[in-house]
Structure formats: structure tokens, C-alpha cells
């Protein structure tokens, strides 16, 4: 089904997904990292690595919440996180300056709570995809689903209009 649309990839996306047989085009998106050309107000996907997500819990929190506000205005929003639930149950370890592994001072319960709170507050699903390849698959699957639903809605509207004309 992907041959029917072009995936837009935000120009600020640092490590963009690509899919075999799918046309992608760089664009500056108002919301999210991925959308479909001509359907930007309808569908978008925000991608977060686990490290990105943890950054959103601290210094990047306000910026991320602003992004969630923009995503919430979209009909089919989604956040894919390149991490599993098991990652959220243990302390986050990151590579600090000098290349040394460092344990985050942020307790795992804060990350879990923020994940739940943001989903409830903004009504945006946040999928824990486990790893990057799964997140890429879910991103494309979400875009395809929105494309299909929009086509179905358009067909239904045309049917209803025809019926209204016949009844008049």
C-alpha cells in the first residue's frame, strides 16, 4: 500500500528511518518526525530513542511537552519509543563526557510516571517498541493505517452524498 503515498521525514530528524520500496522526502514538519505528504494535519509520528526520552524528562521536558501539544492537534498521532518496558524498570545508564557509563539520578518511577501521565494528558499513544527496527515498522504501519482510514472516510462521504442527492 505504501506505493500510494510519500512519507515525509522532518529535516531535523537526526537518524531517520528508511523503508525498502517506500518513497521518502525531507520536509520541515510542524509536528512529529514522520507524516504523509498532504496529510500532515491528519497523521504524524514522533520518534524517540530511549536516551532521547530520558532527555525529555529533564532539560528537554518543556520542549517535548510543546511537541506533544502540537501532536495532540493531529487526528492520528503516535510516539514510538525505541525501548522496552523492561528498560523503564531499571535505572538509565548513559555515556557521560569522557566515555564513562553513568547512572542517571532520575528514578525509573519518574520515567514510568511521565510516560503514563503524557499519554493520559495528551491522549497520544506512546508505543514501547523494544528496539529501532520494530519502531520503524510500527511507524510505517501507523502511516499506512491512517492512509487507509482516510481513504475509507472519503469513500463513505461520497456514498452519503450520492444517497442525499438521490433522496432529493
pLDDT single digits (tens) 84-121: 999 999 999 988 889 999 999 999 999 999 999 999 99
The vertex-56 CA angle with 65 and 119, nearest 5°, equals 55
Residue, of 124 and 157, whose pLDDT is higher = 124
Count of residues making up the chain = 168
> Which residues neighbour 57 within 8 Å (Cβ) at sequence distance 6 or greater?
106, 110, 111, 114
- Taking residues 64-82, report their average pLDDT: 97
CA dihedral 129, 134, 136, 139 (to 10 degrees): -60
Q: How far apart are CA 139 and CA 120, in angstroms?
A: 21
Residues 122 and 73: their CA atoms lie apart, in Å, by 9
pLDDT classification of 157: cutoffs 50, 70, 90: confident
pTM, two decimal places: 0.89
Quote the crossing angle between the two packed helices 61-72 and 108-122, to the nearest 10°.
Answer: 30
How many Å apart are CA 107 and CA 121, to the nearest integer? 21
**pLDDT of 141 higher than 90:** yes
More reliable by pLDDT, 1 or 115: 115
Whether residue 147 has pLDDT greater than 90: yes
Q: Is the pLDDT of residue 71 over 50?
A: yes
pLDDT value of position 6:
97
Contact call for residues 31 and 43 (beta carbons, < 8 A): no
What per-residue confidence (pLDDT) applies to 1? 45
> Is pLDDT above 90 for 161?
no
Amino acid at each position: 500500500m505504501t506505493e500510494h503515498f510519500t512519507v515525509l521525514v522532518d529535516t531535523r530528524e537526526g537518524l531517520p528511518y528508511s523503508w525498502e520500496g517506500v518513497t521518502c522526502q525531507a520536509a520541515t514538519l510542524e509536528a512529529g518526525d514522520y507524516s504523509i505528504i498532504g496529510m500532515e494535519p491528519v497523521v504524524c509520528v514522533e520518534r524517540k530513542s530511549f536516551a532521547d526520552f530520558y532527555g525529555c524528562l529533564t532539560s528537554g521536558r518543556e520542549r517535548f511537552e510543546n511537541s506533544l501539544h502540537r501532536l495532540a492537534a493531529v487526528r492520528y498521532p503516535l510516539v514510538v519509543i525505541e525501548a522496552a518496558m523492561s528498560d523503564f524498570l531499571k535505572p538509565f545508564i548513559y555515556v557521560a563526557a569522557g566515555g564513562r557509563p553513568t547512572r542517571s539520578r532520575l528514578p525509573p518511577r519518574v520515567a514510568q510516571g511521565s510516560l503514563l501521565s503524557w499519554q493520559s494528558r495528551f491522549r497520544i499513544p506512546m508505543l514501547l517498541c523494544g528496539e529501532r527496527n520494530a519502531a520503524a515498522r510500527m511507524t510505517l504501519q501507523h502511516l499506512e493505517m491512517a492512509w487507509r482510514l482516510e481513504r475509507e472516510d472519503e469513500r463513505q462521504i461520497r456514498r452519503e452524498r450520492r444517497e442525499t442527492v438521490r433522496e432529493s
